[in-house]
Structure 1
Amino acid sequence: MTRRRVVITGIEVIAPGGIGKEKFWDLLSEGRTATRGITFFDPTPFRSRVAAEIDFDPYAHGLTAQEVRRLDRTAQFAVVASRGAVADSGIELGGIDPHRIGVTVGSAVGATMSLDEEYRVVSDGGRLDLVDHAYAIPHLYDHMVPSSFACEVAWAVGAEGPSTVVSTGCTSGLDSVGYAVELVREGSADVVIAGSSDAPISPITMACFDAIKATTPRHDDPQSASRPFDGTRNGFVLGEGTAFFVLEELESARMRGAHIYAEIAGYATRSNAYHMTGLRPDGLEMSEAIDTALGEARMNPETIDYINAHGSGTKQNDRHETAAFKRSLGDHAHRTPVSSIKSMVGHSLGAIGSIEIAASALAMEYDLVPPTANLTTPDPECDLDYVPVTAREQLVDAVLTVGSGFGGFQSAMVLASPERNLL
């Protein structure tokens, strides 16, 4: 039986540095950074005081006053991006049975900003041990239940098929899209609006990452604070954002004359069952996810033209995935450009996996490998080609993008040209 092949026909991105996939790609291709000192709240009490914030006006992007009042920032991002992805795809969803349209949304920390703010209100700034619920907004329940995100996106696009939230930490953005691919392959949906969203830049999130020293204290130079694979790196920069896609079956997309960005040829996820935040240095579990994704794609490691790394900028992660690339790709790992866009847009937790899928698809679209910004001091333990500082023009027909998340999650996805020769 021939397997249904799934392609991306619509993309929208809301990321630090600009709204929309065009501004997002301009930032990446120019190697600019969007990290800065935190402006959303007073960061003075915190160890890390930098973030990759988005200048986002929900009214300017079509949300009504009622939607702005009802929706947490994470949900606002998701609704705007999902509508944008549908518009980019040119698909007429009104002509499709709504029960054949699905939605998958990834998020690591849900409505963090609203919950943080509402707790301050109901506790009178933390003064009350017994909070007064009478001061809470009427939509607080939706903020506490992440499934509301999928409902909001489904309402926004008119989807009445499978609707799911995937929350697997920092691999949520990869896993939500991977799950969507399976919905199309198995025939549960003909079209899926898939992506992820997170807006975690809040005092509670900063405090949590401060406690484990995961975020960088380099607040004296915010623009160069995110330094994946660099010998001077000392933690990641928290970010926010979203990316959404229209996924559909290849032949259906061709029949309607859709622009096809890429085929999602393979996907796999693993768990290391090892430590909540720690990683083994040998990269075994990530390597197993890569090997399985390549096998599903029916592709040899030598066919990978570019690796979009997790590249968080922590020493253990950068070494872990460097080892995984060598284990899975062998000698080809040394000939394959690798880069981390977190150097430019920060780490938006559950959203970043989808944002990196968008970067991978656009790298194929423009035959351009985005750089790893701020990489000026080589680390002998990270000895691959990390495309320092400047983007690189080259043919990109196949991309491996990976993610690593607290809890031991390791995910990998292969994007490829639909015209490639299958094994």
Structure 2
Amino acid sequence: MAEVKQYIVIRGTGVISPLGHDVASVNRAYTLGVPAFTTIFHNGEPTPVAALPASAEAALQTLAASNPSYRHLDRSVLMAIYAAKQAVAEAGWLNDGYASDDMAVNIGSSRGATGLFEQHYDSYQQSINGSTMPGTSPTTTLGNLSSWVAHAVNAGGAQISHSITCSTALMAIANGVAWLKAGMAKRFLAGGTEAPLTPFTIAQMKAIGIYSKLAGDAYPCQPYTGKQNTFVLGEGSAAFALELTDETNLKKGDIIVEAVGLGFEKISSKTGISAEGINFQKAMRHAISQLPQNNPDIDLIITHTPGTKAGDKAELEAIKTVFAGAGPTVTTNKWILGHTLGASGALSLQFGMFLLDSNKKPQIPYNFSKNSPSKNTNGRILVNAAGFGGNAASLIIEITS
């Protein structure tokens, strides 16, 4: 008897971002193609950012007011809870009684509770005797991400918080795939969250010399162009409810996580970027190696490309090396919502799900001449992410017909 195939299926998705407060509003924003950037003044300098819109901000504040304990949490944690509750509700996992011991949680962030940390540190500096609040440590440690999410969705299994810089969210998905296939959990909630629109975090990005100078421009973040650095910070969170499903239980329109690839290279700079994008090459090849040998084709790549000259060029070089000839169509969502650091891979995954489910043609409205989107996409999509330190991750998704 032939062995029944099993697949990792995304049963639920939750999202909050500069584009909206749920999947429907975010997908509508992608369809309209209107960038989500605003301009703030940082150290007296006009600075583009991508913050939550009014509707999403109102929804987040409603969540914050729903539980007295939530008022002590960092914005990154609140957004993670918000996205997680959506994903679990769509998956039908909500359980208001006992904790579900077969449900594991892995929510990551590049920077963690940076806003709350900055507030507590400022208070510490201004204190007379060098003291701080009792809640400083438990509310700024990275571990409170997954634990508070687990509380919110009654998950009683493993609770993992991690930071692998901007690869964080895809690494969480990779963990989910591994845990489910190993039988260490029956349900796995994975995702990423980031609330980096703080004075210190913005200053860090400016110090590297990558922040966009195009304040006031309709498209302050312009990946692929290579003319100048156009990195813009955004905030947001996305979470995914993953299950291991037999082939016989697949339904039309299910989004399958076919493969997860990881790559690493020894760094030669603080940001860990090589001209050839070795980490990207390794991650993409690792993912592709898990596809059926008789059908390894990729139709679209959602690139990491945060709008930095060196980073964008390296990833495009890696794609050129891995895929002979013209290669797959490439696209990105950074032009519309900026770079959300540890949440970026999750938001790119949700973008890929939108493209698969709606069969929409990806949009990049400014001048873009390198392998630009030319057709609708309803095939197989590869999502890339990479972070400081030399790490990279690639995720491949497909929709069942």
- Please say if 1:251 is aligned against 2:240: no
Letter in 2 for 1:265: E
8 Å CA contact 1:89, 1:258 repeated in 2: no
CA shift in 2, pair 1:150/1:323, >3 Å? same
8 Å CA contact 2:4, 2:246 repeated in 1: no
Letter in 2 for 1:396: N
- Please say if 1:22 is aligned against 2:24: yes
Secondary structure of 1:250's match? strand
Q: Determine the structure 2 residue equivalent to 1:122.
A: 124
8 Å CA contact 1:16, 1:239 repeated in 2: yes
Match of 1:203 among 181, 186, 199: 199
Match of 1:112 among 99, 107, 114: 114
Unpaired runs of at least 5, structure 2: none
Instruction: For residue 285 of structure 1, report the CA deviation from its aligned partner.
Output: 2.2
Instruction: For residue 259 of structure 1, report the CA deviation from its aligned partner.
Output: 7.6
- Provide, for residues 110-133 of structure 1, a one-character-per-residue CA deviation record: whole Å limited to 9, x for no partner: 000111122222212xxx7x8632
- Please say if 1:264 is aligned against 2:261: no
- Provide, for residues 277-321 of structure 1, a one-character-per-residue CA deviation record: whole Å limited to 9, x for no partner: 141111222111101101123367862111111121111111111
| Alpha-carbon distance in structure 1 between the residues aligned to 2:32 and 2:291 | 31
Aligned residue runs from structure 1 range 279-294, under 5 A = 279-294=273-288
Letter in 1 for 2:262: T
- TM-score, normalization: structure 2? 0.91
CA shift in 2, pair 1:116/1:415, >3 Å? same
CA shift in 2, pair 1:14/1:92, >3 Å? closer
- Please say if 1:306 is aligned against 2:304: no
Unpaired runs of at least 5, structure 1: none
| Alpha-carbon distance in structure 1 between the residues aligned to 2:306 and 2:100 | 38
8 Å CA contact 1:31, 1:370 repeated in 2: no
Match of 1:361 among 347, 353, 362: 353
Letter in 2 for 1:218: L
Q: Determine the structure 2 residue equivalent to 1:49.
A: 47
| Alpha-carbon distance in structure 2 between the residues aligned to 1:131 and 1:289 | 50
Q: Determine the structure 2 residue equivalent to 1:214.
A: 210
Q: Determine the structure 1 residue equivalent to 2:392.
A: 410
| Alpha-carbon distance in structure 1 between the residues aligned to 2:129 and 2:259 | 48
| Alpha-carbon distance in structure 1 between the residues aligned to 2:124 and 2:252 | 49
Match of 1:235 among 224, 230, 243: 230
Aligned residue runs from structure 1 range 46-125, under 5 A = 46=45, 49-55=47-53, 56-57=57-58, 58-61=60-63, 63-91=65-93, 93=95, 98-124=100-126
Count of residue pairs brought into register by the alignment: 394
Q: Determine the structure 2 residue equivalent to 1:376.
A: 367
CA shift in 2, pair 1:103/1:198, >3 Å? same
Q: Determine the structure 2 residue equivalent to 1:151.
A: 147
Instruction: For residue 212 of structure 1, report the CA deviation from its aligned partner.
Output: 1.1
Letter in 2 for 1:290: M
8 Å CA contact 1:176, 1:195 repeated in 2: yes
8 Å CA contact 1:291, 1:328 repeated in 2: yes
Instruction: For residue 19 of structure 1, report the CA deviation from its aligned partner.
Output: 0.9
8 Å CA contact 1:110, 1:143 repeated in 2: no
Secondary structure of 1:123's match? helix
- Please say if 1:141 is aligned against 2:132: no
- Provide, for residues 324-375 of structure 1, a one-character-per-residue CA deviation record: whole Å limited to 9, x for no partner: 1111221251xx22111011011010001111111111211111143234x3
- TM-score, normalization: structure 1? 0.86
8 Å CA contact 2:300, 2:377 repeated in 1: no
Secondary structure of 1:279's match? coil
| Alpha-carbon distance in structure 2 between the residues aligned to 1:6 and 1:93 | 22
Match of 1:327 among 321, 327, 332: 321
CA shift in 2, pair 1:175/1:345, >3 Å? same
Secondary structure of 1:270's match? strand
Match of 1:226 among 196, 201, 221: 221
8 Å CA contact 1:7, 1:260 repeated in 2: no
- Provide, for residues 67-98 of structure 1, a one-character-per-residue CA deviation record: whole Å limited to 9, x for no partner: 33121100000001100111122345579982
Letter in 1 for 2:209: K
Instruction: For residue 3 of structure 1, report the CA deviation from its aligned partner.
Output: 6.5
Stretches (4+) displaced over 6 A = 94-97
CA shift in 2, pair 1:37/1:24, >3 Å? same
Q: Determine the structure 1 residue equivalent to 2:332.
A: 340
Secondary structure of 1:27's match? helix
CA shift in 2, pair 1:258/1:122, >3 Å? farther
- Provide, for residues 358-412 of structure 1, a one-character-per-residue CA deviation record: whole Å limited to 9, x for no partner: 1111211111143234x3264xxxx322x3xxxx652422100001111111111
| Alpha-carbon distance in structure 1 between the residues aligned to 2:286 and 2:308 | 26
8 Å CA contact 1:301, 1:329 repeated in 2: no
| Alpha-carbon distance in structure 1 between the residues aligned to 2:294 and 2:200 | 44
Secondary structure of 1:296's match? coil
Letter in 1 for 2:367: T
User: Once the two structures are aligned, what percentage of the paired residues are identical?
Assistant: 24
